[in-house]
Amino acid sequence: MGKQNINTIGVMTSGGDAPGMNAALRAVVRASIYNGLNCKGIRLGYQGLIEDNIFSMGPRSVSNIINRGGTILKTARSKEFTTKEGRKKAYENLKKNGIDALVVIGGDGSFTGAKIFSEEHDVKVIGIPGTIDNDIFGTDFTIGYDTALNTVINAIDKIRDTAQSHNRVFFVEVMGRDAGFIALNSGIACGAQDILIPERKDKIEEMFDSMERGRKTGKLSSIIVVAEGEELGGVYDLAKFTKIKYPDYDIRVTVLGHIQRGGDPSCADRVLASRLGIAAVEGLLQGKTRVMAGVRSNKIVFTPIEEAIQKHNEIDQELIKVSDILAR
Amino acid sequence: MGKQNINTIGVMTSGGDAPGMNAALRAVVRASIYNGLNCKGIRLGYQGLIEDNIFSMGPRSVSNIINRGGTILKTARSKEFTTKEGRKKAYENLKKNGIDALVVIGGDGSFTGAKIFSEEHDVKVIGIPGTIDNDIFGTDFTIGYDTALNTVINAIDKIRDTAQSHNRVFFVEVMGRDAGFIALNSGIACGAQDILIPERKDKIEEMFDSMERGRKTGKLSSIIVVAEGEELGGVYDLAKFTKIKYPDYDIRVTVLGHIQRGGDPSCADRVLASRLGIAAVEGLLQGKTRVMAGVRSNKIVFTPIEEAIQKHNEIDQELIKVSDILAR
Amino acid sequence: MGKQNINTIGVMTSGGDAPGMNAALRAVVRASIYNGLNCKGIRLGYQGLIEDNIFSMGPRSVSNIINRGGTILKTARSKEFTTKEGRKKAYENLKKNGIDALVVIGGDGSFTGAKIFSEEHDVKVIGIPGTIDNDIFGTDFTIGYDTALNTVINAIDKIRDTAQSHNRVFFVEVMGRDAGFIALNSGIACGAQDILIPERKDKIEEMFDSMERGRKTGKLSSIIVVAEGEELGGVYDLAKFTKIKYPDYDIRVTVLGHIQRGGDPSCADRVLASRLGIAAVEGLLQGKTRVMAGVRSNKIVFTPIEEAIQKHNEIDQELIKVSDILAR
Amino acid sequence: MGKQNINTIGVMTSGGDAPGMNAALRAVVRASIYNGLNCKGIRLGYQGLIEDNIFSMGPRSVSNIINRGGTILKTARSKEFTTKEGRKKAYENLKKNGIDALVVIGGDGSFTGAKIFSEEHDVKVIGIPGTIDNDIFGTDFTIGYDTALNTVINAIDKIRDTAQSHNRVFFVEVMGRDAGFIALNSGIACGAQDILIPERKDKIEEMFDSMERGRKTGKLSSIIVVAEGEELGGVYDLAKFTKIKYPDYDIRVTVLGHIQRGGDPSCADRVLASRLGIAAVEGLLQGKTRVMAGVRSNKIVFTPIEEAIQKHNEIDQELIKVSDILAR
């Protein structure tokens, strides 16, 4: 029996998948082994816990996954786990498999589940933030966010080729229902003429102003990046309004969609995931529970999982100013 | 004055842009210089000819563009050129600029314009097939097609990461309004469960059969690739019908859109474009006109531009069988 | 028992690995199943056959490999197989595993082994050309070649960024000990100032001439692509001689090395591999043996394996001219 | 005349090029214009200043460069600038062009030049850290570092394909003569069996221990990442020693070389460069001089340029432990 009475760690990925989840899983497995513990993988998130979809993992079971997108444990959303009965089944399977502590790699929905489960059944649990949206409090970056940014800019770079060739205006919708991190950073990185995000209550007139400013300096084509959660009515409506205002513009719309969730993880995401996977195991061994492992100012920090769920990272006002200054 | 009384060649890109157009342009310019001719670039296609948007090009004006998507000459569709008056203006600018022969890099719409213009004003003209759709008769491959295929499979590879992580069914719409080349080849390359193309009058039942066949062998996620021109009602309707038939499937739709037109050209497209650009200039010097330069069985061939417009490459039946055999 | 008394097909990858080998393997497995046959995988090439490293493959055992570089069957060179005793052991394992026919995915070394083995023990065998070098007679393209070309040009595009920023001359060595296909095509695609290949007996003076020609038109940086098999003394000597001739040049050398063998296969390679894998199985069922499946003018063809070994694809003289014309 | 008596800002890139330098340049130009200043570009670093290779830049002169590697201003090392006479010439050209303050994008060599120049001639100067090596004190990240990391891991991922296919051991040399940041992070991200960096005085026995540990858990192939500045004798010697110790290992060496300097900048690098470019201009307007703009804990900070030159970022010991734990 290891320190803190932990002998076996269970690990799952839950909620939406994100590039780097496999790297985090690998780190959890290898850090467990390094610390003399057993590690068991739980497939398909909480639903797999309920259905006893659980298996032992050794060092080689996570070979050659650090560079793969998605998650080899798969992920799912589980209605049953939102019920008391479901969580009871999950707990019984935890005991049956000798799992003493749980590492949950996912987003805030998954952490809410972890928190309730942990309180109800006194299960030790640590969360690892895995989501492309970067909208989790307690860490400067979530796993998958950096990769998604690079996927988005590579896509917009391609769109820019065709925008320039035709002197077109492109509205590009990127992910981020509640948070504009992807839109703001990718928009700056692609030289967007304007960036519409939920955190900034733009008026459509400001977008038109920006477009006219660009036009005056000789800009012939432009890209407007729109977060899916912005509130002016969606990317197609924006295009429509713009066409009414500027009938001579050649306007196109592209919704990037699910390509943003996949792809080989970037170096930053692989390293972040590796660090957080180890930190989660070491946190459990130090007696931590109901916390999330994160990175702030490049240091590992643990945040109460409740706080991680309730609070939100705020958009950096400096970046908004950067985007304004550069859209000339 | 060069052979065939050609002293100055004009070159334009026209219609939809395609990766590799810059490489073709570079080859036209350098082959002109190599043969002791002048070369003039015409911006924005036929519209630029009408508006006298024409400039001299030397060897350095095409430096460092071979690896760039889009077209530095830009492209446009011109309503005015569809009128007799417009073409007259275009012809006058041709004369004014001393252009003796025209190279048009574009698709069949652009070739139709070239043909009429050439007949009306006795202008020497050669076409180079530049379009991602590969739907032009007289060449095994069009410039941009290979790049678009790689862009599509890279996108679907990313989608596959998330499809697998969630055991999902994805309907992915790719370009190809009249031709299923992109869908068929990318579908095979991504291991699609089914591929819906305009050339094959599928019944939706066959798609369901294929999905059930995959399921029986244990397939948990799958990708259906759909050409935008298929005739079952569009990718969203397909998803809807499938959801009705299989309510337990977790179904998602992605429309790849304009990212397919951009991006750095692949090696094959750069080499193809380089060859065709040279061939066009040499064809003109050999007295050819109203033809399209293409590659068949890896040899340069010239096809009457009329034939290139009217006939169509047929989908290879072997490939359709390949897709059926592999979707197990 | 199937047609031609074939019930079970064995498949291996042999020699150097190439991107697309997995796609070919997948096609062999699924085409076998489609035709009612069993399929067994042999690990580590002929050595695995000798060591009975053989296992049954079903449709799911090749899931999600079509997009992966390398080979899940692994590959090796086997000294033992070059001996009569080794081949006898191999044959016994073939019989023991009920394998009636063999598909060998590899290069000419592997095909030579297959030929001898087949003659000695009357084993049915079909080869599939898998090598990045494109140096196998009987097919227009080998599996892996197109991917390697794209890997090479992406690397050289990066080198070009730094070459231009510093006004430097770069000598870049690419693979191709006996054949200049990679060098010639990637050199054209990257706008190389000169391309040195084994097939062309360049004199170093011609290289200097080309460099001076570029300089005269204002070229400040340049790339010289060198096939590893060229005969002027290797990339480092070339750089040294150039430095002696032009002491003011800022010269750098890069050897691309093994990155050229890996990477996710391109669309063209995945489709080619899929076609050839199916063709090999169907060829065996039609009674073919001691042949290689290839593609010529986009049609499946079978070439006697002896011919595939002895003859060689010749470098296209048109391409050499293309490279000369464009290096202005 | 603007605030702080600054009317015109001069900007140059100096030393080794790095991806993101163009994005920084674009930000300097546009931030100058935003603040009502003029901006002049200086080509080829200090040498261009000496040779009066200086031109005015407007908002469109930096269009469509944010996504390009290298530097459109080009860069060079200048012997003349190391002399008093050279710097006097440079100063005269500065005055002649009406440049009131200088932004130098480069590494510590360039900053040393800036410091001496600034002291000698009372020139206002701010540095922006642009180098892939991440070895500059006063910023958490240098411009180009994140891109280089992704370039390295993409290359090693390819090498891994072939390493696995052959059960090989690969020694991969990456850049970083004085600093192991690239090696350590890319090594973690690629699951390297061992990572040799200048900061850690490894003994070769420890490397052998690590290799044996991996072997015992069933690892058949492995990657050893080596920083070019490590002190065991270079990557070729390491391979040789290893071959002596383990004659049965199939060992290969790859030196990644100059591909690490090029390529389209990553999202993180484009955003970092954009922020620092603006910060440099605003810093000058606030009266700052002889400082470097950097980012620490995601906030803009200014560090005396002397400190930036003399001090060094230290390798994070946590990361070294991460690499040890994960190499199982």
**Domain containing residue C248: CATH number:** 3.40.50.460
Written as six digits, the tokens of D12 are: 């140059």
Contact of B16 with B46, CB cutoff 8 Å = no
pLDDT classification of B1: cutoffs 50, 70, 90? very low
Is the pLDDT at C74 greater than 80, yes or no? yes
| Average pLDDT over all residues of chain B | 94
Verify that D13 and D136 share a domain, yes or no: yes
Residues A101 and A126: beta-carbon distance below 8 Å: yes
Tell me if B262 and A19 make a contact (CB, 8 A cut-off).
no
Give the whole-angstrom CA distance, residue D278 versus residue D285: 11
Asked whether C55 and C23 are in contact (CB, 8 A), the reply is: no
Tally of CB atoms within 10 A around B78:
21
Of B69, B166, B167, the CB nearest to A161: B69
The amino acid at residue B98 is G
Same domain, B68 and B177: no
Any known ligand binding at D176? yes
Yes or no: say if D192 and D223 are a contact pair by the CB < 8 Å rule: yes
Active site annotation includes D133: yes
Q: Which chain D residues are Cβ-neighbours of A185 within 8 angstroms?
A: 267, 271
Sequence-separated (6 or more) residues with CB below 8 Å from residue D91 = D117, D120, D121, D123
Residue A321: inside a domain: no
Residue D132 and residue D83 share a domain: yes
For residue C25, tell me if it sits in a domain. yes
Q: What local confidence, expressed as pLDDT, does residue D136 receive?
A: 95
Which element (helix H / strand E) includes C285?
A: helix C267-285
B151 touches A at CB < 8 Å: yes
Q: Alpha-carbon distance A263 to A252, whole Å? A: 26
- Say whether both A30 and A93 belong to one domain: yes
Catalytic residues of A: 133
D322 within a domain of the structure (yes/no) = no
| Residue A203: count of CB within 10 angstroms of its CB | 9
pLDDT of residue A199: 85
C-alpha A156/C-alpha D64 separation (Å) is 12
Residues 6+ apart with CB under 8 A from C298: B140, B297, B316
List, in sequence order, every residue forming a beta bridge with C251; answer none if it has no partner: C169
Nearest C-alpha neighbor of C132 from the set C260, C234, C304? C260
D105 shares contact with chain A (CB less than 8 Å): no
CB distance A144 to A20 below 8 Å: yes
Distance from CA of C79 to the nearest CA of B (A): 35
Partnered with residue B125 across adjacent β-strands are B102
* CA distance linking residue A104 with residue A280, whole number of Å: 9
**In terms of C-beta density within 10 A (0-12 exposed, 13-18 middle, 19 or more buried), how is residue D218 classed?**
exposed
Q: Is A321 on the interface with B (CB under 8 A)?
A: no
Nearest in space to B253 (alpha carbons), one of B241, B239, B263, B264: B239
Q: Is A27 annotated as a binding residue?
A: yes
- From chain C, the residues in CB contact with B25 under 8 A are none
Q: State mean pLDDT over A142-170.
A: 96
Q: Is A315 a member of any domain?
A: no
**Calpha distance B67→C161 (Å, rounded):** 11
Q: Annotated binding residue at B160? A: yes
Identify whether residues A138 and A152 lie together within a single domain: no
Catalogue the active-site residues of C: 133
Q: Which of A157, A219, A274 sits opposite D326 (nearest CB)?
A: A274
- β-bridge mates for residue B102, sequence order: B10, B125
What are the φ and ψ backbone dihedral angles of B38, each rounded to 5 degrees?
A: -90, 160
Residue C8 β-bridge partners: C38
> What is Dmax (Cα atoms) for chain B?
73
**Per-residue model confidence as pLDDT tens digits over C91-148:** 999 999 999 999 999 999 999 999 999 999 999 999 999 999 999 999 999 999 999 9
* CB-CB under 8 Å, A152 with D150: no
Do the chains contact at D268 and A149, CB–CB below 8 Å?
Answer: yes
Instruction: Give the D window 169-228 contacts with C, CB below 8 Å.
Output: 170
Tokens coding D119: 């002291």
Say if the Cβ atoms of C161 and D261 lie within 8 Å.
yes
Residue C317 lies inside a defined structural domain of this protein = no
Do strands B222-227 and B169-174 pair parallel, antiparallel, or not at all (unpaired)?
A: parallel
Burial of B96 (0-12, 13-18, 19+ CB in 10 A): exposed
Q: How confident is the model at residue B3 (pLDDT cuts 50, 70, 90)?
A: low
Give yes or no for B164 touching C (CB within 8 A): yes
Three-state helix/strand/coil letters over chain D? CCHHHCCEEEEEECCCCCCCHHHHHHHHHHHHHHCCCEEEEECCHHHHHHCCCEEECCHHHHCCCCCCCCCCCCCCCCCHHHCHHHHHHHHHHHHHCCCCEEEEEECHHHHHHHHHHHHHHCCEEEEEEECCCCCCCCCCCCECHHHHHHHHHHHHHHHHHHHHHHCCEEEEEECCCCCCHHHHHHHHHCCCCEEECCCCCCCHHHHHHHHHHHHHCCCCCEEEEEECCCCCCCHHHHHHHHHHHCCCCCEEEEECHHHHHCCCCCHHHHHHHHHHHHHHHHHHHCCCCCEEEEEECCEEEEEEHHHHHHCCCCCCHHHHHHHHHHCC
Q: Using the beta-carbon criterion (under 8 Å), do A152 and D267 form an inter-chain contact? A: yes
Distance from CA of A59 to the nearest CA of D (A): 6
B-contacting chains (≥3 CB pairs under 8 Å): A, C
Q: Give mean pLDDT, residues A41-67.
A: 96
| A77 annotated binding-site participant | yes
pLDDT of residue D1: 45
Q: Give the contacts of D83 (CB within 8 A, at least 6 positions apart).
A: none
Which chain A residues are within 8 Å of D180, Cβ to Cβ?
none
Domain residue limits at C287: 3-144+265-310
pLDDT number for residue A3:
60
H-helix or E-strand spanning residue C125:
strand C124-129
B 33-62 residues inside an 8 A Cβ radius of A: 44
- Please answer whether residues D144 and D51 qualify as being in contact, where contact means their C-beta atoms are separated by less than 8 angstroms: no
Q: What one-letter code names the amino acid at A31?
A: A
Considering just the CA atoms, what is the radius of gyration of chain D in Å? Answer: 22
Of D58, D268, D322, the CB nearest to A278: D322
| CATH code assigned at D59 | 3.40.50.450
CB-CB contact of A254 with A267 (8 Å): no
Provide the mean pLDDT of chain A.
Answer: 94
Q: In this structure, is residue A316 part of a structural domain? A: no
Residues C127 and C27 both lie in one domain: yes
Calculate how close chain A gets to B167, using CA atoms only, in Å. 8
**For the segment C297-316, what is each residue's pLDDT rounded down to a tens digit?**
999 999 999 999 999 888 99
Mean pLDDT of A182-199: 95
Q: Are C19 and C264 in contact (CB under 8 A)?
A: yes
**pLDDT cut 90: percent of chain A above it:** 85
Q: Order of strands, edge to edge, in the sheet holding A251-255?
A: A194-196, A222-227, A169-174, A251-255
From the centroid of its chain, how far is CA B296? 16
Selected residues 71-90 of chain A with any CB under 8 Å from a CB in chain B: 71, 74-76
Write down the pLDDT at residue C3.
Answer: 60
- For residue A147, the distance in angstroms to the closest alpha carbon of chain B comes to 11
How many CB atoms neighbour CB D52 within 10 A? 15
Cβ distance B326 to C189 less than 8 Å, yes or no, reads no
Q: What is the largest CA-CA distance in chain C?
A: 73
Region for residue C311 given its phi and psi (left: phi exceeds 0; alpha: psi -120 to 50; beta: otherwise):
beta
Q: Find the DSSP H helices in chain B.
A: 21-34, 45-50, 84-96, 108-121, 145-166, 181-189, 204-216, 235-245, 267-285, 305-310, 317-326
Cα D246–D250–D252 angle (5° rounding)?
Answer: 110
What does pLDDT average to over chain C? 94
Mean pLDDT of B231-242: 87
Are the C-beta atoms of B42 and B11 separated by less than 8 Å? yes
Same domain, residue pair A56 and A25: yes
> Can you say whether the dihedral through the CA atoms of B95, B96, B100, B103 is positive or negative?
negative
Q: How many domains does chain D have?
A: 2
pLDDT band, very low/low/confident/very high, at B327 (cuts 50, 70, 90) = confident
Q: Note whether B133 and B279 are same-domain residues.
A: yes
Q: Is C275 on the interface with B (CB under 8 A)?
A: yes
- Strands (DSSP E) along A53-118, which ranges? 54-56, 101-106
Greatest CA separation found in chain D?
73
B325 is in an annotated binding site: no
Given a cut of 70, whether residue A1 has pLDDT beyond it is no
Q: Let me know: does B263 contact B147? Beta carbons within 8 Å.
A: yes
CB contact under 8 A, C162 and D257: no
Does D320 reside within a domain? no
- Inter-chain touch D164–C259, beta carbons under 8 Å: no
Q: What is the mean pLDDT of residues C277-282?
A: 98
Is D79 a member of any domain?
Answer: yes
Q: Are residues D257 and D157 in the same domain?
A: yes
What is the spatial distance between Cα D192 and Cα D156, in angstroms, rounded to a whole number?
Answer: 9
- State whether B240 and B229 are in the same domain: yes
Please name the residue of chain C whose CA is at the shortest distance from the CA of residue B186: C267
The DSSP H or E segment spanning C9 is: strand C8-13
**Do residues D126 and D152 both lie within one domain?**
no
Closest CA to B108 of B87, B84, B137, B86: B137
B81 and B139 fall within a common domain = yes
Residues of chain D with pLDDT under 70: 1-3, 202
**Where is C276: in which H helix or E strand?**
helix C267-285
For A292-325, the pLDDT digits (tens) are: 999 999 999 999 999 999 998 889 999 999 999 9
User: How large is the C-alpha radius of gyration of chain C?
Assistant: 22
Is B185 in contact with B319 (CB distance < 8 Å)? Answer: yes
Q: For residue C1, is pLDDT > 60?
A: no
